[in-house]
Structure 1
């Protein structure tokens, strides 16, 4: 089983494209930290249940993501 997540730069704090919010940072900083923690928790939960988790950033070309998914599906027993 394979789970694929396409993460948006702002909401999931992309290290290349996300910028720290300058307005209302007291709200956004903890919110984005919770998003990152939820992502990690969901990934760990799925992996412990036997899923292979693929996370990609929104700027990744769809054909690249599809190729990655196809490769792991073919390779998995």
Structure 2
């Protein structure tokens, strides 16, 4: 079926979609209920991290197995393969660019695959909480030698 929009109109329309996955919402609610406070989908940060704690320079991305080309679960579409190969390759390259950006700026970065959350939600939340707490405790100023 032919598209009734031009390529530019379609790009603008698709770019305006700001959907969040149910899985991402479930994961972030569990993190919130564990006592962590953060912002979701912070547009002013590069790559629009799914979870950001700017005070501690922490960004967390939840990567879809399809859109980010999971080495375990990605299933290549049977039609329009050239398009999808380019699309997934560009997404992977963009992920690397974003990772390098944050690492060069001294941020702490965590990427979680969709399948990790699906197979072990509680474990994914626990590992993420541990990751964040290690950074928060490391960044906390020492009070050794302080008189009370």
TM-score class normalised by the smaller sequence: 0.7 to 0.9
Please say if residues 21 and 29 of structure 1, whose CA atoms lie closer than 8 Å, have aligned partners that are also in contact. Answer: no
Please say if residues 3 and 54 of structure 1, whose CA atoms lie closer than 8 Å, have aligned partners that are also in contact. Answer: yes
* TM-score normalised by length of structure 2: 0.49
Please identify the structure whose Cα radius of gyration is greater: 2
**Unaligned regions of 5+ residues in structure 2, if any?**
1-56, 139-148
Aligned to 1:49: 105
- RMSD of equivalent CA atoms: 1.3
Q: Give the paired residue count.
A: 77
Please state which structure has a larger fraction of its residues in strand: 1
TM superposition outliers: structure 1 runs of 4+ over 4 Å: none
Higher relative contact order structure (alpha carbons within 8 Å, sequence separation ≥ 6): 1
* TM-score normalised by length of structure 1: 0.88
**Unaligned regions of 5+ residues in structure 1, if any?**
none
